[in-house]
Structure 1
Amino acid sequence: MDIRFEQAEARFEGRTILQPLTLSLVEKRIGIIGLNGSGKTTFARMINGLVAPTAGHVTVDGFDTVKQADAVRGRVGFIFQNPQNQIILPILKEDLALGLKRKKLSAAEVKAASDAVLSRFGIAHLAERRAHELSGGELQLAAMASVLVTQPELLIMDEPTNQLDLKNRNLVSRTIEGLHESVVVITHDLDLIGDFERVLLFHQGQLVGDGPADETIEFYRGLAE
């Protein structure tokens, strides 16, 4: 996965949310940190085209996130901060089938793909459950399944351990660790990304730190004092 920002900038109602930025991301596990309002979520949403750059451009494997949005979104999955917003249909197995609709698979192929992703995350027993019946950890795993059933190469997660108790936080952390897809994780949970290959630190709309997890996190701790 090759993500490139070329003087990409994000402005909203005359205010700069993200200063012009040029960089390339190729690492398998990337963390994004920063204070609230620092621009980190805007940056992540620019990767899959949820936010279009107001200047410059962003590409994923050579595909422009604006001009070739379908190709990009086929490669990049996004899990929102509230995973309940990820589950559109009330029953989990129905939601998985909806995600596969654009692939024009047969009913048997849809069932096989859905069963496989549910088994992968150990939540096959939740197939008939409603989203509001799930625990925080189960809901996060269900959100992962709903995105990964379409087989993107990259998964972006916005605060995946937010408001989880310790048991569910550890469950989600282990699951992320075991993913074979590339991941970009926006988080305030610094332990979650403590062994990531690369961590980006945003502050006041600028990229102010970029390096191995331990170095960037240490710099962030000093910045946040």
Structure 2
Amino acid sequence: MHAIDIGHVTLERDGARIFPDLTLRLTERRIGVVGRNGAGKSSLIRLITGLVAPQRGQVRVNGIEVAKDRTGALATVGLLFQNPDHQIIFPVVRDEIAFGLEQKGLKRAEALRRAEAVLAAQGRSDWADRLCHTLSQGQRQLVCLMSILAMEPDWILFDEPFNSLDLPTALAIEARIAALAQHVVLVTHDPARLTGFDRILWLEAGRIEADGPPAEVLPRYIAAMEALARDAAC
């Protein structure tokens, strides 16, 4: 069973409590996360990927305690950051894609072979020797996504992947996300990106304000944000 299990998690950072007692079970193929800045969206996906560890409680993805089993986490869940420059380590595309595979224990030659196979599958074999900094932001995001796909995780998480992209690039990234076979958790400020999803979480100040299908949660969320906008304009 593919599942994210968050059990009675308390998360504090810099003396502030982000989640006081969060319990969730996520099994759907397409899950959207909305909420205002500071609501805990990015903290949630960092918990799920094991990049931050809770003070109390457990986070398991497909049975793996991600904060403690980093090798298991790498093989199970991947995260595409909002800014690809915060994710890319190596100057050359092929090496960037191969890096995670080497972290999983593959010999370098096999990691490079698999990296080239991923590039070919995405129709980007000509990028193998390209320098990452010469690519556009959307292209660098695709490099990051290919690095994740090379690891063959069951879950891929996206933290505001459409920020700072022009419309054609954003639509291309959206289409790639829709075509993924993996389970997806997508954090976004744009509710329109989530209308075809299976489940929506609305976070508010570290708690679940609403949890359900898009047709139920998104209209409530939009109405609440519009009310806040009206109040701010007064």
The answer to whether 1:58 aligns with 2:59 is yes
The structural deviation recorded for 1:161 is: 0.9
* Greater shift in the superposed pair: 200-209 or 189-198: 189-198
The answer to whether 1:77 aligns with 2:78 is yes
CA distance, structure 2, for counterparts of residue 202 and residue 163 of structure 1: 23
Which residue in 2 is equivalent to 1:139? 140
Structure 2 counterpart SS, 1:38: coil
Which residue in 2 is equivalent to 1:128? 129
**Gapped regions of structure 1 (runs ≥ 5):** none
In the alignment, is the contact (CA less than 8 A) between 1:41 and 1:158 conserved in 2?
yes
In the alignment, is the contact (CA less than 8 A) between 1:87 and 1:146 conserved in 2?
no
The structural deviation recorded for 1:68 is: 2.8
Equivalence map 1:182-201=2 (5 Å): 182-201=183-202
What's the TM-score once normalised by structure 1's chain length?
A: 0.93
Equivalence map 1:1-225=2 (5 Å): 1-106=2-107, 108-225=109-226
**Match of 2:222, as an amino acid?**
R
In the alignment, is the contact (CA less than 8 A) between 2:156 and 2:185 conserved in 1?
yes
**Gapped regions of structure 2 (runs ≥ 5):** 227-234
Q: Deviations over 1:110-164 (max 9, x none)?
A: 3331122112323222222112211222111111011221111111111111110
Q: Percent identity?
A: 37
Structure 1 counterpart SS, 2:119: helix
CA distance, structure 1, for counterparts of residue 14 and residue 165 of structure 2: 34
CA distance, structure 1, for counterparts of residue 122 and residue 36 of structure 2: 31
The structural deviation recorded for 1:78 is: 1.1
Q: Deviations over 1:80-114 (max 9, x none)?
A: 11012222101101111222213443555333311
CA distance, structure 1, for counterparts of residue 221 and residue 120 of structure 2: 38
**Match of 2:101, as an amino acid?**
L
**Match of 2:11, as an amino acid?**
A
The structural deviation recorded for 1:189 is: 2.4
RMSD: 1.6
Which residue in 1 is equivalent to 2:232? none
